[in-house]
Amino acid sequence: MKKLLIIDRDGTLIKEPADYQIDAFEKLEFVPGVFTWLGRIAREFDYELIMATNQDGLGTDSFPEETFYGPQKLLLKTLEGEGIVFSDILVDRSFDQEQLPTRKPGTGMFGKYLSGDYNLAESYVIGDRITDVQLARNLGAQAIFFNNEGSESAVLRSTSWEEIYQFLKPKRQATVNRKTSETDIIVSVDLDGPTDEKIDTGIGFLNHMLEQIARHAGIGLSVSCQGDLHIDEHHSAEDVAITLGLALKQALGNKAGIGRYGFALPMDDCQAKVLLDLGGRPYFIWKAKFKREKIGDMATELLPHFFRSIADSLGANLHIRAKGDNEHHKAEAIFKAFARALRQAIRQEGTELPTTKGVI
């Protein structure tokens, strides 16, 4: 279903003069930041743009039509040059005292959006007057109040188009709870969030390695695992990897604009290479040998199993090679290299899918 951005004109896109009428070209002055940030919203986000404006007495002697449409056409042409195109322009001509249903906050102008294939609950009305906030409520949409005062019901109060852009930017976050007869795991990731990690798997070494992923991938990561450690650490390590892969996959969404590919790094006597492709197809190669049975409280035989599980649940090509003398350094180098590869691959570099197939 389509999502809408219903945007007021005067006071939101352009500055409103003292007499409340943009009836001359010299009165046309754009709000700062609207070209840059509304332009990015139009290009990067999946919203249909609607302009909705009350123009008191348009077409009467107090506000002749010809004085309105000259500046209006220039406004639309200028915005279009910045990639900002409105699919619909809704103009109410009445006076406030007439109390017509077409005048905001009435919904009379929005009939086709009330009955059509539109997701109004995830749509927004952006405007500088309380009537715009009331319109949002009447439509069943959310309000962004282009004003720094009043209206507790607005989800955002700001006169900065940059702040509005950041607010509307899709959040690349996910929380996955995976429960089996062997484990109960909750993993939360925020690909663009803080790197403060909260990790408790019950396996000290795995906690340490997951902290490396969070810090070096630059992501927010929270992991909680209740597992059958009275048997051994196998199920907990495996299921944490599966759940982490699922959370990363969910947070990536449609993967628009990601780098997709990703890293080699040294760590004292060791070196690790991790090749990663978030292309949607799982494939795993492991070329690393360990001489010790355990590092801390985790069996080294679980390391390839851990990364294979991530590759499978994330839907990624993952090739890992490592060599060196110190087993702890070797394992840590692998986790850090994976994190850095992930950091490259999830970084958003634009809006296009990194594929010629149209989907990954």
The predicted structure's pLDDT at residue 104: 96
The predicted structure's pLDDT at residue 195: 67
Q: What is the domain partition of the chain in residue ranges?
A: 4-168, 173-346
List 10, 128, 132, 239, catalytic entry: 10
Decide if 192 is catalytic. Answer: no
Q: How many other C-beta atoms are found inside a 10 Å radius of the C-beta of residue 52?
A: 23
List 8, 23, 132, 277, catalytic entry: 8
**Does position 146 have pLDDT exceeding 80, yes or no?**
yes
Decide if 10 is catalytic. Answer: yes
Longest dimension (CA), the chain: 91
* Token pair 């322009």 in the structure block, residue: 89
**Does position 140 have pLDDT exceeding 90, yes or no?**
yes
The pTM of the full predicted model, rounded to 2 decimals, is 0.76
What DSSP character marks residue 238? H
The highest-level CATH class for domain 4-168 is alpha beta
3-state secondary structure of 68: helix
Write the CB contacts of 60 (distance below 8 Å, at least 6 apart in sequence): none
Fold exhibited by the domain 173-346: Ribosomal Protein S5; domain 2 (3.30.230)
Residue 275: which pLDDT band, with cuts at 50, 70 and 90?
very high
Q: How many other C-beta atoms are found inside a 10 Å radius of the C-beta of residue 243?
A: 23
What's the CA gap between 161 and 146, in Å, rounded? 9
Write the CB contacts of 54 (distance below 8 Å, at least 6 apart in sequence): 92, 94, 96, 103, 104, 131
**Does position 137 have pLDDT exceeding 80, yes or no?**
yes
In tens, the pLDDT along 20-71 reads: 899 999 999 999 999 999 999 999 888 999 999 999 999 999 999 999 999 9
Burial of residue 230 (number of CB atoms within 10 Å: 0-12, 13-18, 19+): exposed
Residue 359: which pLDDT band, with cuts at 50, 70 and 90?
confident
* Token pair 């279903």 in the structure block, residue: 1
